[in-house]
Amino acid sequence: MAQEEDLLDNWLHEEWIVCPSCQRSLFRIDTSPMDHERYLYCDRCPIRVGISVYETEYQQLSHLFFAAQENEEHDHEAFSRAIEAHLQPCTCGGTFRYDAPRRCFTCFAPVITDDPNGVDLYPDEDVFEQELDAKRQERLERWQAQFCPNPENKWKPLSK
Ligand SMILES: [Zn+2]
Ligand SMILES: [Zn+2]
């Protein structure tokens, strides 16, 4: 009984894992299907960029892409690749991808490499907390500024 409740509670598979390289604890969680935003991860460093389905560029791309497809079966895999192709590179020169390995924030080693699409990695659970004490809030903001920068010009100009 207790186990069943745990399963229901933990439907996003929240789990503490350990970096195989530096042994730091990390918090993994599935991307919620209710969320309008998804992260794409750099293929060279732990930086991620959030893309919302409400963004103009996302909607334009979606419109262009699916209008160009003739059959009913939409190719979502190819659409993901089209989104990736329209993002500016990471500040480190890497490419943002849905399925890039999720990396440790301390030593940058790949931590989740097996089917990482739909999984997010955090240093801890602070990002999900409603209220944090000043110290944890500051630490969270520093983490966000470094690894989740949300740049203004993340999209490449759309070619008409
Ligand atoms: Zn590490
Ligand atoms: Zn990078």
* 136 CA from centroid of ligand 2 (Å): 25
> What mean pLDDT value characterizes the chain?
91
| Protein residues near ligand 1, an ion, with CB under 5 A | 19, 21-22, 104, 106-107, 109
**Residue 5: per-residue pLDDT:** 57
pLDDT band of residue 19 (cuts 50, 70, 90) is very high
101 with 111: CB under 8 angstroms? yes
Q: Quick one: which ligand is closest to 45's CA?
A: 2
* 84 CA from centroid of ligand 2 (Å): 14
- 20-40: pLDDT as tens digits: 999 999 999 999 989 999 999
Higher pLDDT pick, 8 / 22: 22
pLDDT band of residue 2 (cuts 50, 70, 90) is low
Closest by CA to 50, choosing from 58, 39, 61, is 39
* 95 CA from centroid of ligand 2 (Å): 7
* 7 CA from centroid of ligand 2 (Å): 34
pTM of the model: 0.90
* 18 CA from centroid of ligand 1 (Å): 8
Q: Quick one: which ligand is closest to 147's CA?
A: 2
**Interaxial angle between packed helices 56-68 and 76-85, expressed in degrees from 0 to 180 and rounded to the nearest 10:** 130
Does 41 have pLDDT greater than 90? yes
- 42-96: pLDDT as tens digits: 999 999 999 999 999 999 999 988 887 765 677 888 999 999 999 999 999 999 9
